[in-house]
Amino acid sequence: MAMEMRLPVPRKPVSESLGRETKKHLVVPGDTITTDTGFMRGHGTYIGEEKLIASVAGPVERVNKLICVKALKTRYNGEVGDIVVGRITEVQQKRWKVETNSRLDSVLLLSSMNLPGGELRRRSAEDELAMRGFLQEGDLISAEVQAVFSDGAVSLHTRSLKYGKLGQGVLVQVPPSLVKRQKTHFHDLPCGASVILGNNGFIWIYPTPEHKEEDAGGFIANLEPVSLADREVISRLRNCIVSLVTQRMLLYDTSILYCYEASLPHQIKDILKPEVMEEIVMETRQRLLEQEG
């Protein structure tokens, strides 16, 4: 019942505890990368005073003669085939505008959306008028990137039954660079909840549905109360993901699962305390290193 007050403490740098063999060359905007003019400049760099200077903060990546700087904290840049979780911001004439933490709102065309029942037909005027019945402002959807326009805006589609409107659950927003690219982003974790790791940094945690509903196509939201045990698992997963993000660890199903198991001795609300966070992420890191080596 009592409030806990504490003084701010400086954050410990991660490299002290790790002891990595190869140190990455980190730069901040304005740092000189190299004075050698034989390199081609890639993203995140520019030429000033005959030197190659970085324009974003991050590690320098070099592929033969191409030097680029990969920014650590950016907005999401869409690639074809990525899975994203987005929130509907606008309903327009034949499409929806979806917010995906990128520079421009993404677009979901009516023709790229699955009709309920899985029918395949040309979209009519009645479908256009009934758009708000499918997806309203504020709804969350999971979708795949179909194409990227020249200005960087992303076009989405939900042409498979595993995509569609999301029901009850918790959304966590993380920097997009921390989500690892994997074969599948839909995971059913053995602890009792399922998670969708959107490439755009939106992570959706939801209770595992008991039976897969093939016919609905994900439009009818299940508004029944979720059981307390499921809720505890979801809250614990959410806190674990937040602690992994504060310690800048890559997010994928194994790391989330190890972090969950490391956090079991603690109470759910204690995981948000800085010292507990460091402890469980340290343990997760150890287990991941053991698993690799």
Partner 1 sequence: MASVALSEAEKVYIVHGVQEDLRVDGRGCEDYRCVEVETDVVSNTSGSARVKLGHTDILVGVKAEMGTPKLEKPNEGYLEFFVDCSANATPEFEGRGGDDLGTEIANTLYRIFNNKSSVDLKSLCISPREHCWILYVDVLLLECGGNLFDAISIAVKAALFNTRIPKVRVLEDEEGSKDIELSDDPYDCIRLSVENVPCIVTLCKIGYRHVVDATLQEEACSLASLLVSVTSKGVVTCMRKVGKGSLDPESIFEMMEVHVSK
Residues at the contact surface with partner 1, assessed by CB under 8 A: 1, 3-8, 87, 89, 136-140, 166-171, 221-223, 225-226, 228, 231-232, 235-236, 238-239, 242, 267-269, 271-274
How many other CB atoms sit within 10 Å of the CB of residue 83? 21
> Which residue number, 6 or 65, has a Cβ lying nearer to partner 1?
6
CB of 217 to partner 1, least distance (A): 16
Closer residue to partner 1, CB minimum distance, 7 or 63 = 7
Closest separation between CB of residue 180 and partner 1, Å?
A: 24
Least distance to partner 1, CB of residue 80, Å: 27
Q: Which long-range contacts (CB under 8 A, 24 or more apart) does 34-42 make?
A: 34/67, 38/65, 39/65, 39/66, 39/67, 40/65, 40/66, 40/67, 41/67, 41/68, 42/66, 42/67, 42/68, 42/69
Q: How do beta strands 106-113 and 170-173 pair?
A: unpaired
Instruction: Report H helices in 85-227.
Output: 125-129, 131-134
Q: How far is the CB of 210 from partner 1 (least distance, A)?
A: 17
Of 34 and 173, CB closest to partner 1: 173
- For partner 1, the closer of residues 268 and 282 by Cβ is 268
Which residue's CB is nearer to partner 1, number 3 or number 125?
Answer: 3
The DSSP letter of residue 161 is T
